[in-house]
Chains A and B, each alone.
Chain A
Amino acid sequence: MSLLFLMTIFILSCFIGYFVVQGVTPALHAPLMSVSNAISGIVIIAALTTAALAEDFNNEELLSLIAVFLASLNIFGGFTVSNRMLKLFKKKDEK
């Protein structure tokens, strides 16, 4: 895909991000950080893609494997922390 096309997606996404994040209530800024942290673990699909291209065990595969591990840590850790935080913001009658 052309750089121009990818750039278009990138810039429009920045705008979506800007407007969506503007709507986040300041009380939830800490969960916002940890949710966005968790979803930045999406880089795992790049690690999986790179691993899929390796034909035999080499440096690329090793690096991808470590990257999968780190990104998973980010994903599982991030979502768990967010979930723990968000549980605290429940209303009394929801218990």
Chain B
Amino acid sequence: MIGFEGLYVIYLIASMCFILAIRGLSSPKTARNGNQLGMFGMGLAVLATLLVLPTRNDLGILSAGFLAALIGIWTANKVKMTALPQVIALLNGVGGLSSVLVGMAQILRGQVSLFDSSVGIAIGGVAFSGSLIAFFKLQGWLKNKHFSGANIINIIIFSGLIITWAEFVMTERMYALYMLVFGAFLFGATITLPVGGADMPIVISVLNAFSGFAASGIGFSLSNVALIITGALVGASGTILALAMTKAMNRSLVDVFFKTFTESEEKDFQSRTARVGSPQDAAFLMENASKVIIVPGYGMASAGAQYALKNMASILKDKYHVDVKFAIHPVAGRMPGHMNVLLAEAKVDYDKVFGLEEINPDFETADVAYVIGANDITNPLAKTDASSPLYGMPILEVSKAKTVFFVKRSLGAGYSGAQNPLFFADNTLMLYGDAKKVTEEVVANL
């Protein structure tokens, strides 16, 4: 009917749909249309493939797809917004594994470039096991493992991976293929295991890029242009996100994977005393403020405090005519854009949500900065102390506000292990407790 050339044209159209889908995300106004265009492109490509290349077992294929659709849509609708990072990690891993299996099927079938397929297999394998470990960590089922000599082990496994890969491409023996798959799984796991929570946005982005490049690798082996273009798009997207995140933390990708922070306990902190405020104080100061900036971090997500926060912001704005803004650091949370989605879920107007560079000049004129579940991203040592692990990281300059409230469970050091001198500053008041409970108490006192 449409033939192979028609199929080629349809793949080209699908690729264009995907490019425009991502382009749509440049503004919240066009984003949903973009997503729908992506779905359309995918549907088109799959349907055309099924029509032009009928399989011996179409029924089996359709049932597999149908079952996956049921499970995928049901799970995606069921999951809580706070659990988004782990869901995306899991889906990413599933995509990676799919590339591995397709690559292996092609090699078993023969008549395919072993080099191209095996590159796809290796990258997909790392994406799969790395994403799985990231999923377990984000879900809280796995603690950080700082095993000694992790770097040496990783380098050995990586060298082993390269050697088995070369062995396979040159000898074409199947045992080398199985070892390659196993080695890729192992490497993905060991490289992700030592990475800590606050570096998760970077790791997820890197793994996202990997699943894209794996698809490109498979595309090379099949000479399939749709796979190459789409894989490159996804790969570029993940890479750019990862680089943006590392820049926002002043770390390099090498640092993230090889120089993981050792999470330290509250060291010589007990000797100093921070001023403790009450929810009443916070309510009183914010009612009488003309400008309040709210700075959310992972603590807001884990406590599910976004609705209480939105409530607080609305009352301040409607009843007391306070100018309330939200400030989001690029690496706040566990995935890129994590805070934005949660605030959007609580129906915070996105016009009131600002990024690092837009909001920093505002702190000087703010009466209150309400920091909720964030720490390192406000630490002034990042600017002043060259020995601090945070040195050079751009921060939200909350200390310039007249009064700073820190909603935190304890005085503990941040994820980086760095102490935050801001806790002991004259204009800081600590509000101890669960982010959601504390905010609800503030609301009750407004």
Contact = CB atoms under 8 A, between A and B. Distances in A.
A81 B76 contact: yes
Q: From DSSP, what is the main secondary structure of chain B's interface residues?
A: helix
B98 A56 contact: no
A18 B328 CA distance: 24
Interface stretch (B60-68, B286-294, B418-426): B60-68
Interface string A50-90: 11111111111101111111111111111111111111111
Interface size of A as a range? 35 or more
A83 B32 contact: yes
Specify the main secondary structure of chain A where it touches its partner.
Answer: helix
B204 A33 contact: yes
B25 A40 contact: no
B233 A20 contact: yes
Interface stretch (B42-50, B266-274, B372-380, B402-410): B42-50
Contacts of B88: 30, 33-34, 37, 81
Nearest to A74: B95
A33 B338 CA distance: 11
A72 B70 CA distance: 10
B336 A29 contact: yes
A46 B216 CA distance: 11
Contacts of A46: 102, 106, 215, 218-219, 222, 224, 227
Given A10-B232, A40-B231, A89-B28, A72 B65 contact: yes
B63 to A, nearest CB: 9
Contacts of A1: 223
Contact of B61 (A25, A29, A37, A51): A51
A13 B105 contact: no
A6 B219 CA distance: 9
Interface stretch (B153-161, B341-349, B434-442): B341-349
Contact of B101 (A18, A42, A63, A77): A63
B95 A37 contact: yes
Interface string A9-20: 111011011101
Contact of B228 (A10, A83, A89): A10
Interface of A: 1, 3, 6, 9-11, 13-14, 16-18, 20-61, 63-92
